[in-house]
């Protein structure tokens, strides 16, 4: 049995100092992922620093009309907050579809940003996995990979990113705020999630001991009509095969004037569909153009015999979702 020391931090500075001063340590928020991985021996910290008592549960307006979400705000509370439901309904839907009520009551927004993949080869603690043991290989490349990514993959990792709300936040250009040993910084959310490339074990640009303290969501007027649709193997709580966040404005001439589009379940990171957005801005909002934009987004998809269906599935999901928005 491996001993693990538990320490409850009373302040942000105390939490940062405790983790940064101990090489085999980790922050503990809701624990909905960390405790599972600890039990599976996937992660093996010798010190857990509990941050649940830190004053980071707030949800407040910011000067640009957006919202600042404290890192310890629970997913359930954020999903049902009036300002989120009204200004960012797609984000609220992503949160509600992300987990069971019990898990949402525990899971924190900051912790969700650091959620680890559900790849079975990562979590079994034994198979070759470059995320868990750099240089060991990727068993998923030739293994059971039906649920794995088709965008943003590399020769070293094809694990799909599991978060739902991160898909919405990527589409909304959110910003991650942190405090670490070297002070404070802000990280644009698309720079926060790192593709696997040659270093799948490096998933975020966080330094050891750097703590997420808040997430800023800017004012995005078109987000008031946003939607999040999640396709999965069962209606009950399950990770996405394909999910779509969309927020679109069509002008009086019937052309796409503004579009925010992001995908879940298909990428190694929450996937902002930049190619599809660029293909549609200024073009007529028609199913034919939606299909062409979806084709452009998946032009570089890398598939396996087991997950090739995701490309067709995702393209159809994009066309259906955007068509319903304009109907």
What dihedral do alpha carbons 138, 103, 150, 172 form, nearest 10°? -130
Report yes or no: 165 and 91 within 8 Å, Cβ to Cβ.
yes
Bridging pattern class, strands 25-28 and 47-50: parallel
What dihedral do alpha carbons 297, 189, 166, 204 form, nearest 10°? 100
Closest CA to 246 of 168, 142, 303: 168
Helices (H), 98-164: 101-106, 109-113, 120-123
What distance, in Å, lies between the first and last C-alpha atoms of the chain?
A: 59
Contacts of 19 by beta carbon, 8 Å cutoff, 6+ apart: 25, 26, 27, 47, 49, 208, 209, 211
Structural domains in the chain plus CATH codes: 222-326 (3.30.390.50)
The Cα 293–Cα 41 span in angstroms is: 43
Length of the chain: 327
Give, for all 327 residues of the chain, the pLDDT tens digit.
678 999 999 999 999 999 999 999 999 999 988 888 998 889 999 999 999 999 999 999 999 899 999 999 999 999 999 999 999 999 999 999 998 888 898 999 999 999 999 999 999 989 999 999 999 999 999 999 999 999 999 999 999 999 999 999 999 999 999 999 999 999 999 999 999 999 999 999 999 999 999 999 999 999 999 999 999 998 877 899 999 999 999 999 999 999 999 999 999 999 999 999 999 999 999 999 999 999 999 999 999 999 999 999 999 999 999 999 886
Closest CA to 197 of 158, 227, 244, 235: 158
pTM above 0.85, yes or no: yes
């Amino acid at each position: 049995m491996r001993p693990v020391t538990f320490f409850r931090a009373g302040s942000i500075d105390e939490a940062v100092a405790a983790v940064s001063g101990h090489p085999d340590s980790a922050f503990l928020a809701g624990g909905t992922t960390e405790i599972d991985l600890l039990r599976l021996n996937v992660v093996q910290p010798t010190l857990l620093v509990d941050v649940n008592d830190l004053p980071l549960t707030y949800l407040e307006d910011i000067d640009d009309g957006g919202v600042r979400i404290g890192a310890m705000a629970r997913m359930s509370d954020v999903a049902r907050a009036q300002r989120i439901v009204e200004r960012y309904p797609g984000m609220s839907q992503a949160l509600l579809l992300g987990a069971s009520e019990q898990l949402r009551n525990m899971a924190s927004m900051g912790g969700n940003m650091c959620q680890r993949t559900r790849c079975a080869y990562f979590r079994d603690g034994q198979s070759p996995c470059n995320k868990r043991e750099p240089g060991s290989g990727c068993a998923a490349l030739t293994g059971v990979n039906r649920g794995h990514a088709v965008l943003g993959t590399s020769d070293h990792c094809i694990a799909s990113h599991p978060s739902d709300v991160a898909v919405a936040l990527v589409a909304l250009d959110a910003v991650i705020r942190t405090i670490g040993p070297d002070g404070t910084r802000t990280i644009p959310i698309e720079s926060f999630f790192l593709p696997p490339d040659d270093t799948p074990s490096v998933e975020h640009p966080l330094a050891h001991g750097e703590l997420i303290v808040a997430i800023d969501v800017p004012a995005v007027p078109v987000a008031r009509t946003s939607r999040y649709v999640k396709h999965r193997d069962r209606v009950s709580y399950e990770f996405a095969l394909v999910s779509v966040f969309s927020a679109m404005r069509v002008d009086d001439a019937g052309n796409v004037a503004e579009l925010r589009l992001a995908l879940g379940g298909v990428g190694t990171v929450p996937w902002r569909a930049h190619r599809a957005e660029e293909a549609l801005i200024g073009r007529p909002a028609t199913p034919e153009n939606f299909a062409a934009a979806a084709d452009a987004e998946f032009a570089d998809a890398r598939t396996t015999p087991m997950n090739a269906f995701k490309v067709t599935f995702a393209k159809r999901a994009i066309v259906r979702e955007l068509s319903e928005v304009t109907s």
